[in-house]
Structure 1
């Protein structure tokens, strides 16, 4: 155990978050997401919800503020303008925890899969609510001087 580190962050996930560089993407995926076939690196956090994992990751990782869309979700097929309830919860977490909160941009399903395949890693949660998927782009931690 470490002080100040959310216990949701496993040693494997902490290693991945530390290894990621500015502009790298990490996906928080629901239980139905095809993570095994998409992931370069896969961390499983079965039993945890997507909002819980979002909160933990954003407690240690900054969002990229050099791009227009540092946070993306998978748009509902056939209804891209509707925000899924679980995504609304994740937006609340982002607004509360992120050092530079950003609005979640919906991506068409296959565009989301394409970005997920190119991501540094995928974290598969136990989230059972539909469309509980989020893509986060890592930002820069500013120098103290």
Structure 2
């Protein structure tokens, strides 16, 4: 890690290293979750033709499968958004802006960063 990173951040080098490690772990876990969800989505998509051509399946089964497929897609999207936020936070560590609210320029509460290390706004600051 660059020694000058803490110059702009309200956090110490030790704190930055802590959050960087947490973010890297979250990034890896989120990427794995996305891969698992994408495989599940492909399973639903691949099985759809078999279900629709079969006379043995009830309309309710098809509807349930579609709802499940939609829920998996929503989970994929949420995880992709989270991954994007994690990457932004890692970039902010690299640029020396980590822990600074993008709206107010004030330090983000450490408690907030512990709860959500990819936060870019202080508690109570609304996104524009």
Q: Provide TM-score, normalisation by structure 1.
A: 0.23
Higher strand content, 1 or 2:
1
Q: Which has the larger radius of gyration?
A: 2
Higher relative contact order (CA 8 A, sep 6+): 1
Taking structure 2 as the reference length, the TM-score comes to 0.25
Name whichever structure is richer in helix by fraction.
2
